[in-house]
Amino acid sequence: MKIAVPRETAPGETRVALTPQAGAQLAGDGVEVIVQAGAGEGSSIPDDLYRDAGVTIAPDAPSLYGQADLVLRVGRPSDEEIEMLKPGTVLIGTLGVLSNPQLAVRLASAGITAISMDAIPRITRAQSMDSLSSQSTVGGYKAVLLAANRLPKFFPLLTTAAGTVRPARGIIMGAGVAGLMAIGTARRLGAVVEATDVRPVVKEQVQSLGATFLDVEMTDEEKAQAETAGGYAREMSDDYKRRQAELIAQRVSEADFVITTALIPGRPAPRLITEAMVRSMKPGSVIVDMAAEAGGNCELTEPGREVVKDGVTIIGLTNLPAMMPGSATQMYAKNVQTLVSHLVHEGRVTIDFGDEITRGATITHQGEVVHEATRSALGLDTDRAESSSGGAGR
Query: Is 234 an annotated catalytic residue?
Result: no
What is the rounded CA–CA span in Å between residue 176 and residue 357?
21
Distances (CA, A) of 57 to 20, 66, 134, 314: 11, 14, 27, 41
Say which of 63, 225, 232, 253 is annotated catalytic.
Answer: 232
Which of 76, 111, 141 lies closest to 326 in space, CA to CA?
A: 141
- Marked catalytic residue, from 69, 130, 197, 256: 130
Instruction: Report the C-alpha gap between 203 and 216 in whole angstroms.
Output: 11
Task: Find the catalytic residue in 36, 43, 131, 133.
Answer: 133
Specify whether 122 is catalytic.
Answer: yes
Q: What distance in Å separates the CA atoms of residue 34 and residue 4, rounded to the nearest whole number?
A: 5
Question: How far is the C-alpha of 392 from the C-alpha of 394, rounded, in Å?
Answer: 7
Per annotation, catalytic residue among 102, 127, 207, 388: 127
Nearest CA-CA partner of 168 in 249, 286, 297: 286
Residue 383 bears catalytic tag: no
Annotated catalytic, 256? no
The contacts of residue 355 (CB under 8 Å, 6+ apart) are none
29 counts as catalytic:
no
Strand 344-345 with 362-365, pairing: unpaired
| 136, 181 contact by CB (below 8 A) | yes
End-to-end, the C-alpha distance of the chain in Å comes to 5
| Catalytic entry in 122, 251, 271, 348 | 122
List active site positions. Answer: 122, 127, 130, 133, 232
